[in-house]
């Protein structure tokens, strides 16, 4: 169920309460009419009073149907407006019906005239000050108008036999009655409206405070979830790093133990030291990758220092990385093709991070390529972005592994078979760098046929 404002909730509840109370009033009037018909037959306009009572019952049924429609509506301004109109209509109809009942049962000399005060109080509680003022004026107009019309003879006066004095026939008494009633209704309306307005304001303040507390509670719950996610990610990171560090350290430790214990021949010693050195190199690579990833993470949190970064030509960084990779390319008998669009625009990215992107993309293309294969690097542009791609003819990536290529510490199964050395951090770092500078990277691969990494970066 949608939240209701205090005013809306109160108004709908009180409208229903008035409808239920009106059924009690209809029953009470019917009982009084029946008793009067038995005890003082011929003194009251029984038929007219019954007709008014039936009319009250009919419009109460219609009001009940309207209330159901209002309750089933959507919470908000429309339902509040409908409830206000329904409440005002009830009070207007009740005041009119009460004036007619008063006319056929003795006019202003009948004590039921005090029920006008009751209706004014209800109007002031439920409706805004301007509307309740109109209701108060209508009540005064109906009572004083009825008294004036009966006094002037335009309406007949039905005297009650148990009332000794006909107030309606004494101008001074009638004027005093009208003045007292007007002052009473005005004072009651002012006092009740003031109290009701203050209570509504406090209800609204409480409602808004409650809504604010719920919003803050949701924000805290969201922050707590984020903290739990970060903590879980940190724990996973520690576990993965520990796992990656343990194997090379264990190998180095075992090799050194064997050498120091004199359990190896000179040739075996050389082999053990070579193994230790290779594993130490793997450790250095892993530490370097972790430092790069940590540095990129911190850079992403700090935001892009746009003003401090000079525009960079990605092609120059690419050629530098390719030149550095030439020995490994030659060793694996690979062919590297570079295609750079003429008049290529510059990108706004630090040169060291651009070099990190090219190094990881090219090293993957070299490491997981087949001997004698090829690598194609393309740099182009469109209206807003620099577009780059690195394609190889290597082992490719299985479809199930493609969605996880950019996850930290992830290595595809065939990648582990092709090369035992690898941290699984490089492509995660590449994605963080490119996304940190407003770009996007994606991968397209076919198992056994090759892989293409495509990225874009905003033009400077």
| Lowest mean pLDDT, pick from 202-206, 348-352, 364-368, 384-388 | 202-206
pLDDT at 196 over 80: yes
Give the per-residue pLDDT at 151: 84
Q: pLDDT category, 379, cuts 50, 70, 90?
A: very high
CATH code of the domain containing 354: 3.30.565.10
Q: Quote the CA–CA distance of 97 and 246 in Å, as a whole number.
A: 92
Q: pLDDT category, 390, cuts 50, 70, 90?
A: very high
Query: Quick one: CA dihedral 44, 45, 50, 52, positive or negative?
Result: negative
Q: Quote the CA–CA distance of 113 and 350 in Å, as a whole number.
A: 88
Asked, for residue 303, whether it belongs to a domain, the answer is: no
Which of these three, 199, 219, 239, is where a domain ends? 219
Q: How large a percentage of the chain has pLDDT more than 90? A: 22
Give the per-residue pLDDT at 43: 64
| β-pairing verdict for 450-458 and 440-446 | antiparallel
10 with 135, same domain: the answer is: yes
Query: Burial level of 203, CB count in 10 A (0-12/13-18/19+)?
Result: middle
Q: pLDDT category, 108, cuts 50, 70, 90?
A: confident
Give the per-residue pLDDT at 32: 82
Asked, for residue 246, whether it belongs to a domain, the answer is: no
Give the per-residue pLDDT at 128: 84
Give the per-residue pLDDT at 298: 67
Asked, for residue 317, whether it belongs to a domain, the answer is: yes
Q: pLDDT category, 452, cuts 50, 70, 90?
A: very high
Q: What is the average per-residue pLDDT within 280-299? A: 71
Strands (E), 299-425: 335-340, 374-381, 385-392
What is the per-residue pLDDT across 16-63, written as a single tens digit (0 to 9) for each? Answer: 888 888 899 889 888 888 877 777 666 667 788 889 889 999 998 998
51 with 200, same domain: the answer is: yes
215 with 320, same domain: the answer is: no
Which of these three, 219, 238, 263, is where a domain ends? 219
Give the per-residue pLDDT at 74: 63
318 with 203, same domain: the answer is: no
| Contact predicate 402/443, CB 8 Å | yes
pLDDT at 105 over 80: yes
210 with 315, same domain: the answer is: no
Q: pLDDT category, 1, cuts 50, 70, 90?
A: very low
Give the best-scoring range by mean pLDDT among 126-130, 247-251, 424-428: 126-130
Asked, for residue 256, whether it belongs to a domain, the answer is: no
| Total structural domains within the chain | 2
Residue of higher predicted confidence among 84 and 419: 84
52 with 192, same domain: the answer is: yes
Which residues, other chains included, contact 105 with Cβ-Cβ below 8 Å and sequence gap of 6+?
44, 45, 49, 112, 158, 160
Q: What is the residue range of 146's domain?
A: 6-219
Question: Is the whole model's pTM more than 0.85, yes or no?
Answer: no
3-class DSSP string for 71-131: HHCCCCHHHHHHHHHHHHHHHHHHHHHHHHHHHHCCHHHCHHHHHHHHHHHHHHHHCCHHH
The chain-wide mean pLDDT, for the chain, equals 83
What is the per-residue pLDDT across 141-170, written as a single tens digit (0 to 9) for each? Answer: 999 998 888 888 888 887 776 665 666 667
213 with 317, same domain: the answer is: no
Asked, for residue 121, whether it belongs to a domain, the answer is: yes
Query: Burial level of 73, CB count in 10 A (0-12/13-18/19+)?
Result: middle
Query: Burial level of 189, CB count in 10 A (0-12/13-18/19+)?
Result: buried
332 with 205, same domain: the answer is: no
Asked, for residue 243, whether it belongs to a domain, the answer is: no
315 with 448, same domain: the answer is: yes
Asked, for residue 244, whether it belongs to a domain, the answer is: no
Q: What is the average per-residue pLDDT within 235-244? A: 68
Q: pLDDT category, 4, cuts 50, 70, 90?
A: low
The DSSP H or E segment spanning 393 is: none
Asked, for residue 190, whether it belongs to a domain, the answer is: yes
70 with 212, same domain: the answer is: yes
Which of these three, 165, 185, 219, is where a domain ends? 219
29 with 169, same domain: the answer is: yes
pLDDT at 3 over 60: no
């Amino acid at each position: 169920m949608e939240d209701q404002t205090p005013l809306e909730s109160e108004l709908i509840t009180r409208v229903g309460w008035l409808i239920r109370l009106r059924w009690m009033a209809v029953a009470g009037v019917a009982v009084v009419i029946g008793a009067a018909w038995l005890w003082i037959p011929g003194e009251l306009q029984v038929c007219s009073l019954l007709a008014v009572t039936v009319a009250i019952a009919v419009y109460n049924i219609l009001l009940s149907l309207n209330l159901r429609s209002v309750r089933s509506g959507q919470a908000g301004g429309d339902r509040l407006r409908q409830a206000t109109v329904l409440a005002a209509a009830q009070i207007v109809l009740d005041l009119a019906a009460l004036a007619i009942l008063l006319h056929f049962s003795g006019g202003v000399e009948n004590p039921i005239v005090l029920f006008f005060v009751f209706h004014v109080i209800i109007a002031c509680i439920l409706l805004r000050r301007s509307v309740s003022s109109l209701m108060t004026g209508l009540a005064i107009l109906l009572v004083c108008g009825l008294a004036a019309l009966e006094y002037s003879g335009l309406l007949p006066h039905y005297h009650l036999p148990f009332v000794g004095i006909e107030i309606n026939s004494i101008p001074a008494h009638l004027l005093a009655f009208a003045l007292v009633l007007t002052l009473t209704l005005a004072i009651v309306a002012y006092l009740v409206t003031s109290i009701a307005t203050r209570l509504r304001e406090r209800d609204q303040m409480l409602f808004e405070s409650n809504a604010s507390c719920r919003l803050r509670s949701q924000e805290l719950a969201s922050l707590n979830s984020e903290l739990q996610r970060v903590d879980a990610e940190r724990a996973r990171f520690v576990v993965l790093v520990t796992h990656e560090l343990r194997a090379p350290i264990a190998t180095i430790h075992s090799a050194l133990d064997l050498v120091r214990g004199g359990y190896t021949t000179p040739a075996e010693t050389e082999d053990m030291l070579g193994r230790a050195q290779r594993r130490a190199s793997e450790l250095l690579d892993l530490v370097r990758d972790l430092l790069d990833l940590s540095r990129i993470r911190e850079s992403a949190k700090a935001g892009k220092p746009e003003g401090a970064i000079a525009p960079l030509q990605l092609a120059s960084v690419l050629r530098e990385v390719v030149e550095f990779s030439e020995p490994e390319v030659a060793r694996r008998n690979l062919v590297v093709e570079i295609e750079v669009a003429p008049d290529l625009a510059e990108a706004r990215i630090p040169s060291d991070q651009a070099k990190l992107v090219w190094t990881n993309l090219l090293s993957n293309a070299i490491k997981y390529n087949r001997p004698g294969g090829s690598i194609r690097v393309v740099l182009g542009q469109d209206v807003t972005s620099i577009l780059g791609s690195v394609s190889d003819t290597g082992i490719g990536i299985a479809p199930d592994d493609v969605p996880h290529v950019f996850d930290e510490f992830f290595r595809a199964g065939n990648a582990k078979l092709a090369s035992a050395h690898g941290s699984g951090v490089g492509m995660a770092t590449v994605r963080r760098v490119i996304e940190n500078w407003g770009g996007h990277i994606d991968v397209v691969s076919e198992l056994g046929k090759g892989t293409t990494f495509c990225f874009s970066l905003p033009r400077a």
